[in-house]
Amino acid sequence: MIIGVPSEIKNHENRVSMLPFGVEELTRNKHQVLVQKSAGVGSGILDEEYVQAGAEIVESAKEIFDRAEMIVKVKEPQPVELEMIRKDQIIFTYLHFAADKELTLGFMKTEAIGIAYETVQLENGQLPLLIPMSEVAGRMAIQNGAKALEANMGGRGLLLSGVPGVEPATITVIGGGVVGTNAAKIAAGLGAKVNIMDVNPARLKYLDDVMPANVFTIYSNRHNILDILPKTDLLIGAVLIPGAKAPNLVTRKMLGLMKPGSVIVDVAVDQGGCVETCKPTTHENPIYEVDGIVHYCVANMPGAVPYTSTTALTNVTFPYVRQIANQGYKSAMQINPSLLPGLNSIEGKITHRGVAEAFGLEYFSPEVFIK
């Protein structure tokens, strides 16, 4: 199989979808790997390293899309990339269809095979290709939220940890999954008072057992969210429904309960955001203000730490890339059932229920397409 690794073109996206070790292993298995010139530079990987591993360096993205049978990326296809995708070409990347109807409809028109990292799912419900980036994003949410709280950024002028004689900031994390757990862990380590909310009592019990004494677990419902917002200096949105649009748990009206200069970091922005006033921003212009509340809603937060993120991501994606290359996507999905939920679109049809429901599109069972 010919596998293509194009440069990422989303704003300030410095990750790359494959490391040289992956190229070496694929070429050893008689596959051909095309890597776009300078694709790895943002992650500290030179073209020479890919060449030594057996890759062919290609000048343009168009040549890669023209020649490759499978495209391996990090972020969802951008408009110019959608125009280059071919019918029946495999696109293996974060797709995040449920957050973007235009992208979804555009991809359907290509009739390509869209396999989304974020919906590959193990039997126990875990999302193995989302976990490492969720870990990074959860930790960065506190890092960026702390910066946004500074007065020069429009924030309240609070130090998360406080100092002797001055109380620390209060951080509320909505969602106790991988993002929320990592956010709470970092915030607690900095000395903040941390509230973490979730709808799963068993998860709350687990978090209560493993978190330090300055982390408090609260059942997530509208009443409790309304109660906690006036006490919150930094709100982290960390809600995920696999493959589907995130629910709006904090409305614009609720912002009036928060203190002016408080900060919201909505990590769920990739899936539409769990805060009504959330809209995707970039690393170049990461923040904006609504009703006196600072919003940080960068959609590719891990892209700012590309060395860490690329290594963490490719550690988990490469085994699936290798399996698809070696066996073809149909056999790979039959042998490894965790890949099947990753199939989001094929032959111009939507094969993930959450995406179909988000936009009122007809849903087709993915099993039909791998027989």
Task: Return the active site residues.
Answer: 96, 270
Residue 341 has phi, psi (to 5 degrees) of -65, -15
Question: Of 22, 49, 17, 23, whose CA–CA distance to 133 is shortest?
Answer: 17
**The one-letter amino acid at 236:** I
Here the tokens at position 132 are 């490492």
The alpha carbon of 151 is separated from its chain's Cα centroid by a whole number of angstroms, namely 29
92/190 Cα distance (integer angstroms) = 37
Q: Which helix (H) or strand (E) holds 82?
A: helix 79-82
Q: What is the CA radius of gyration of the chain?
A: 21
In this structure, the dihedral spanned by the alpha carbons of residues 71, 279, 15 and 176, taken in order and rounded to 10 degrees, is -100
Helix axis angle for 20-28 and 306-335, nearest 10°, is 30
Between the alpha carbon of residue 165 and those of residues 161, 162, 214, the distances in Å are: 11, 8, 17
Cβ proximity of 177 and 240 under 8 Å: yes
Dump the DSSP string for 53-68. Answer: HTPEEES-HHHHHHH-
- CB-facing half-sphere around the CA of 75: CA atoms within 13 A: 21
**The one-letter amino acid at 47:** D
Question: Of 158, 363, 137, whose CA–CA distance to 267 is shortest?
Answer: 137
